[in-house]
Structure formats: structure tokens, C-alpha cells
Structure 1
Amino acid sequence: MRTAPAGEVVSVLRLCPKIFPAGKMHYYRYSTAEVSCCYKYLLFSYNIIFWLSGMVLLGIGLWAWSEKGILSDITKVTRLHGFDPVWLVLVVGVIMFTLGFAGCVGALRENICLLKFFCGTIVLIFFMELAVAVLAFLFQDWVRDRAKEFFENNIKAYRDDIDLQNLIDSLQKANHCCGAQSPDDWNLNEYFNCTGENLSREKCGVPFSCCIADPAQSVVNTQCGYDVRKKPPSERDTVTYTRGCISALEAWLPRNIYIVAAAFLVISILQIFGIYLAKTLMSDIDAVKAGYRF
């Protein structure tokens, strides 16, 4: 093997001053650390489900608003009374879409900022869920009062929004209940109250979802609640449910505590798994950056 003379080495250094300034050679050292493809694409797959689900929820929410005419007249938002279920769909859709986007792009592009945003938001949501669960257990009376107030406000707005109406009807039919604490709570609604000024045909009645279903009838009788509250209590009991929905929900929770706990556990495990993937991927990226030296 021929060894280059010293003169040739000097001439090369002179010909390449940009590569070897002042005759000094640069040595490059590459770390053996690398970003795990397994964690990278697992996090991408984890987030793309949320991203697509968020897009679907956003589409459903915007479609529901367009059916109500809100998109053509945005001032209708300020005139809505009670709880609009479409708001919940839109808020959940925006959160899922944003987190899914940050997780997917952050994983593919190995972007630390997006990964930190994704991880930090999931941690925040996780601790908020824990805080709500603990506070709901410690302050049960306060939660019961707020639930009663919330239900009564939505009884007042029952006829204002079709989605709210369907939500209350589904709740009453599923739990065999009527009103917040009793069927008389429907006096709060201008269509169902018993005042003399009320000219509605539904006066002193209740919605059909309060009626005890007849197994022999295949067609729902939407007029079964008319004038029910004018009848004596003994006759009323055979036609409509007399238990309020707050009491029904309080009785439902102890019977289904294992289902609620299992659902909370599954959601928590999914969140912790996403946090673990994001933290591991960030650690790999930091290790690669730290190991690259000039």
C-alpha cells in the first residue's frame, strides 16, 4: 500500500481551504442512538383514530347546525335556551381532531413541540377527570343540586331545540322517570304548565316519554300525556312514571358501579398508553440529538 508523501498532503490542504481551514481537520462522531420505528408508527396509529373520529364528529356537528339553520344565521346561537347537545359533539370533535393532528404529525415528523403539546394536553385531561370524579364523590349534595338545576333549565327549553327534546325523551324513557324530581316539574315549561293563561293543548300534561309503555301497542302514542296532571294521583300512577330522573340516576349508579368503573379504567389506560408512547418517542429524539457531535 503506497503512502502519500508529505508534500501531497500539504497540497491537498491548500487546495481545500473550505474543507480544512487553517489546515485543521474536523472529525464527525455519530451516536448509535436512533428513534424507534415501533413507537413512532404505533403513536401514529394511536392518533390517527382520534384524528379521523374528530373529523367525523365535527362533520356531524356542523351538519346538525346546518339543519337547524344556525350556519346561515349565526345569531341563532345567542337565542338558544337550555343545553344544545350539538355543542358537546362539536367541542369533543375539536379536541379529538386537534390532539389527533398534533400526535400524528408530531410522530411522523419527530416534532418535539407537537409531541409535548399532545402529551401535556392528555395529562391535563387525565387529571381533570380524576379531579371531577373525586369532587363529585366528596360533594354529592352540591352535584345533586346542580344536576336538578340543569335538568329544570332544560325542561323550560324542551320545545326550543329538537336535539334537546330528543335527549330528554331518551333519558326519561330509558330510566322510567318524569321530570327532575317529579312530573310536576313540567309546570316550568310554558307549553305544559297549568296556569289559566296557557292555551296550549299540552296544558297540565307531560311529554309522551313520561308515559308507561303498553307492550301491546306497537305504535307510540304521542298524546298519552295530555291532561295527565289534572287526574288524581291514583289514576296518574297507572299512566305515567312518578319518579323523578334525579332519583332514577342516583339509583342507577350503584347498580352499575362496576360498568362505570370499568369504563373509567379503560379510558385511563388508553390515556396513559398515549402518554407513554409520546414520552418514549421524545426521549429517543432527544437521545439522537444529544449524541450528534461535531
Structure 2
Amino acid sequence: MSGKHFNVHEVGCCIKYFIFGFNIIFWLLGVAFLSVALWAWSEKGVLSNISSITDLGGFDPVWLFLVVGGVMFVLGFAGCIGALRENSFLLKFFSVFLGIIFFLELTAGVLAFVFKDWIKDQLKFFINNNIRAYRDDIDLQNLIDFTQDYWECCGAFGPEDWNLNIYFNCTDTNLSREKCGVPFSCCTKDPAEDVINTQCGYDIRGKGDIEHKTFIHTKGCVPQFEKWLQENLTVVAGIFIGIALLQIFGICLAQNLLSDIEAVRESCLFT
């Protein structure tokens, strides 16, 4: 028995503990993402009323934290325990799961390149759907404001897209003070202002084109995103290639460790 126990520990320690250390970072990050998501839902009262998940008409950014955190948690757990305990099943699960994610990313990249116009239409639909739900969720509101402020845009293809929102549309039945306006994130920044004027977009769409160009961004977020993507194509491509290489590296290390484990077990059977 002692001889077999010694042989089991002949598995490459360097690879074993490198995989363990690498994955424990991802596991902890997964825990952090899940914690933030659960805290956000707790603050919004979703955890006490699960049915409210379906009430939001637009995209809840908390879902992004939940999905990313969940995937990182599962992968990190499988990689950590699989490497530490030399568990073949968990290491195979880690390799296959990571391989599936890599394949899905590669497929998504190819499809995005081939169906660029369809992606553009879906992006427009996604933004407009979230414009409708702008006031329904604080996280969604902050996400839209950040997007419009960062890319200096307004709406999907222009400020008039805010007619889709019940608080900003220009219909006669709209009694909101924000009627015919846009959110403050659509406004152009005044370097002299230290405090954000949250009322800068009031009534702006009821005025002429000169006021539009002076006080708010007139370009939509879809064309601005395309412009940003073209200007930062090298950086974006570098990030995706780096992520892909890390995934391939993780799969190779896990497979290498699996080979060592199988070799040691086979040697144990013949001793």
C-alpha cells in the first residue's frame, strides 16, 4: 500500500499546483460575481419575490453577473478540486466545459462576422427594448446612462428613439415633465460644470436641430459602437486572442495532468 501511495504522488506537482492556483483565483472571482448579483437582487427585493424577475421588460445587468459568476464558480471548483485531489472526472469535466466555451466563442465570432447586418438589427432591437424599460430598473438605467455617456450617443440610432419610452415620448397623453426630452446621459458635457445637470435633456426634442446639436449627442449608440470597434479593433482582437490562448493553455495543462494520473494508476496496477 505504501508503494502505491508513493507512486500516486509522482504526478507532476508543478502542473498540479499551477492548475490549482490558477483556478482558485477564478473560483474566488466567481464567488465575488455571484455575491454581487445576489446582493443586487436582495436590494431590489427580487429574492423575496422571485416572480418579479419576469416583470422587467428590458435586460437586467444582474443576469450578466449571475451567468459569468456561475460559470467561473463551476469551472474554478472543478479545476481546483480536480487538480488537488487528482480526480479524473472533475479534470475531464473542466477540460470539456472549457472546450465547449472556447467552441461557442469561436462560433459566435464567425457568425458575428458573417451575419453583421443581422447582429446590427438585433443590437438595435436590444437597445430599443431597454429604452422602453429605462425607468423600471435602476441597474438597467445606470447601464444605459454609462453607455450613452461613454460613447457620446443617444438612443439606438438617434435621440428620437426615446419616443419609445412612456416618460420621454412626445404624445399629447404624456403628462411627464420629461416629455419630449432625453436622459441627462445624452447631453454634451460642459467642462465648466462640476455637478451633473440631470435636467439638461428636458424638452430638447421639442426644439430645433441647432439646439439638438448644441446640447445633446445626435448620433445613435449602434453606429458609435461600430466606430469604436473599428478604432479599437487591435485591442479587442488582442483581448479575445489572449482569452482563447488562456483557455487552450488550461485545457492542455488539464490533459497533461490527466495523462500523468492515468500513467501512475497504470503503473500501480502492475506493481
TM-score w.r.t. the length of structure 2 is: 0.96
Equivalent residue, structure 2, for 1:187 = 163
Q: Does 1:147 align with 2:123?
A: yes
Counterparts of 1:19-38 in structure 2, within 5 Å, are: 34-38=10-14
Give the CA deviation at 1:75. Answer: 1.4
1:158 paired to 2:110? no
Instruction: Please state how far the C-alpha of 1:99 moved relative to its aligned partner.
Output: 0.6
For 1:177 and 1:235, how far apart are their aligned partners in 2?
16
Quote the Cα distance in structure 2 between the aligned partners of 1:31 and 1:181: 65
Tell me: CA distance 1:32–1:112, structure 2 relative to 1, closer, same or farther (3 Å): closer
2: distance between equivalents of 1:167 and 1:124? 29
Is 1:123 aligned with 2:94?
Answer: no
Cα distance in 2 for partners of 1:78, 1:150 equals: 16
Matches within 5 A, 1:143-292: 143-292=119-268
What SS is found at the alignment partner of 1:238? helix
Alignment of 1:41-80 (within 5 A): 41-80=17-56
The reply to whether residue 112 of structure 1 matches residue 88 of structure 2 is: yes
Which structure: larger Rg? Answer: 1
Instruction: Let me know the Cα RMSD of the aligned residues.
Output: 1.5
Is the contact between residue 61 and residue 89 of structure 1 (CA under 8 Å) also seen in structure 2?
yes
Structure richer in helix, relative to its length: 2
Report if the CA contact (8 A) 2:8-2:261 is conserved: no
Identity between Structure 1 and Structure 2 (%): 60
1:9 is matched with none
The within-5 A match list for 1:78-117 is 78-117=54-93
Question: Which consecutive residues of structure 2, in runs of 5 or more, have no partner in the other structure?
Answer: none
Preserved CA contact (<8 Å) 2:37 2:63: yes
Deviations 1:238-274 (A, max 9, x none): 0100000001001111100011011111111111111
Segments of 4+ moved more than 2 angstroms? 30-34
* Runs of 5+ consecutive residues of structure 1 not aligned to the other structure: 1-27
How many positions carry a matched residue from both structures? 266
Q: Distance in 2 between matches of 1:204 and 1:31?
A: 76
- Report the Cα offset of residue 193 of structure 1: 0.4
TM-score, normalised with respect to structure 1:
0.88
Matched residue of 2:49: which SS?
Answer: coil
Distance 1:190 1:218 in 2: 30
Pair 1:220–1:183, CA change in 2 (3 A): same
Partners of 1:169 and 1:35 lie apart in 2 by 52
